[in-house]
Amino acid sequence: MGRSADWGRIRAIAWKDLTAERRSKAGFYSVAALGITILVLFGFALGPDTRALRDAAVGALWLAVFFAGVLTFNRSYQVELDSGALDTLLLYGGGRWTIFTGKLLANLAFVMMMLVIVLIVGAVLFQVEVPAQWPTLLAVLALGVIGLVTLGTFYAAMASRSRAREVLLPLLLFPMMVPVLLAAIQASKALFGADLMQESGAWMRLLVAYDLVFLIITHLAFEYVIEV
Amino acid sequence: MASWKSHTLLDARDIARRFGARWVLRGASITVASGEVVGLLGANGSGKSTFLRVLATLLRPNAGSATIAGHDIMREPDAVRHSIGFLAHTPGLYDDLTARENLVFAAAMLGLPDADDDIHCALERVALTHVADERVRGFSAGMQRRLAIARLSLSRPRVLLLDEPYSNLDTAGTVLMNSLITDTVDAGGAALVVLHELAPSAGVIDRLATVHEGRIDSGLYEAEVEPRLALVGAD
């Protein structure tokens, strides 16, 4: 009963967030537009040199996902704050970690959809070819997004109680994201360059360790950061 | 109304809470027995809403203790949350979900299996069946309040904590709110209701207490309430 009720709550929150986001439309389009704009701006900044574009493609892609993700995480709690629903949400019985897991799953789905769009646009814009080790690249992308979304969802909850949350979230999130971004960028770069030195494995292990540690810590700490 | 008065369902002692350097509650105490409805009156900023939020486990008190349905609000917050029905100033609904979806979500969060019939009854009770599949974004403030009442009725709480529950409600909505309170206390529950004015709660409130500078003055009992309600009605 306990576990099925918890799972029911997680599903309900993920469904509610995705349904509200899908219906509001402006949310997804504005976030995707930001991701694409960042890629285009990188393209302009790097100029017409194809080699320079390819070299910078991976970093540009991850930064586009990061900045667009920050918008997503802020919106995730804005839905609750706009209508005063956060208090109601906190008063339902059961573990508050279920709220975090539900929001994490919804944000994960949202950022993954955005990632697909950014990947397609990035591949066209930076003239990047799909590497031979594309399944490993997909795993790197998934691990990087899990790290980003876990920390983003957690820090957005922490910042949600502050009036300066739009400014606070990137300030809190960016220093914590450095290891994830670094590992994801290096692993992706290695895979695009055929990974002759077998570097991607070490970076992926770092990503796995980082994701596991922060998935556990954020679930344990959520109850305390969402309290007033 | 007060025939159930047998045991204490809500017992708050010396609750204190501050925001920064400002003490909003300075030792607020109250008890509410089963079958009893207590109205809380007070000026703006006197601490009524803060007191209710502390009891609802939404704010931690800086000092004092409270039990609801026998559960300590600090040590057993989850059990307290299962026992209470809290209605805040804002309805706490999701604008981009329909009325029915808001209740389906609430039922899932409450862990109610097969709640379709309960949801249908709740919508019928608040007379929103005809707009059940419309998004809440288009609802008036009164309709949103009714939907919040429907959500509250799903959980069948033992103790109602209501913060100005009559705001934005028309006469029919006021009757609905009063029937929710009456049903709860008739089932052995209790209610603590923050009031802005007395008239809508006429015939429902058993006792009045006033909040002044973060303290609760001893309640006015039944005999004293009726003349006051009559006076308000006469206005």
Residues A104-146: pLDDT tens digits?
999 999 999 999 999 999 888 888 888 888 888 899 999 999 9
Residue to substitute from B62, B68, B87, B94, interface A, most A β-carbons within 10 A:
B94
Q: Do B94 and A16 touch (CB under 8 A)?
A: yes
The distance from CA A63 to its chain's CA centroid, rounded to whole angstroms, is 11
Query: Hey, what amino acid is at B135?
Result: R
Q: Do A91 and B81 touch (CB under 8 A)?
A: yes
pLDDT at A21: 87
CB of A165 within 8 A of CB of A70?
A: no
First CA to last CA distance, chain A? 30
Partnered with residue B11 across adjacent β-strands are: B31, B67
Query: Measured between CA atoms, how close is B66 to chain A, in angstroms?
Result: 17
Q: Is A71 left (phi over 0), alpha (psi -120 to 50) or beta?
A: alpha
How far is residue A165's CA from residue B184's CA, in Å, rounded to a whole number? 39
Q: What is the ipTM of this complex?
A: 0.86
CATH number of B8-88+159-234: 3.40.50.300
Average pLDDT, chain A: 88
Residues A60-87: pLDDT tens digits?
899 999 988 888 898 888 888 887 899 9
pLDDT at A196: 61
pLDDT at B4: 45
Q: Give the global pTM.
A: 0.87
Specify the residue for token string 């997909």: A138
Return the C-alpha torsion angle B30, B33, B36, B38, nearest 10: 0
Query: Hey, what amino acid is at A52?
Result: A
Residue A161 token pair: 């109680």
* Burial (0-12, 13-18, 19+ Cβ within 10 Å), B109: buried
Q: Do B93 and A9 touch (CB under 8 A)?
A: no
Residues from chain A contacting residue B139 (CB–CB below 8 Å): none
Q: Do A84 and B90 touch (CB under 8 A)?
A: yes
Domain-wise residue ranges, chain A: 2-226
| Mean pLDDT value across residues B148-170 | 92
First CA to last CA distance, chain B? 25
B5 pLDDT higher than 50: no
Residue A77 token pair: 């709690």
Q: Could you give the C-alpha distances from B228 to A36, B199, B210, B219, in angstroms and in order?
A: 65, 9, 13, 13
B99 pLDDT higher than 60: yes
Residues from chain B contacting residue A94 (CB–CB below 8 Å): 78, 109, 111
Q: Within B76-170, where are the H helices?
A: 77-83, 99-110, 116-125, 141-154
Q: Does B101 touch chain A (CB under 8 A)?
A: yes
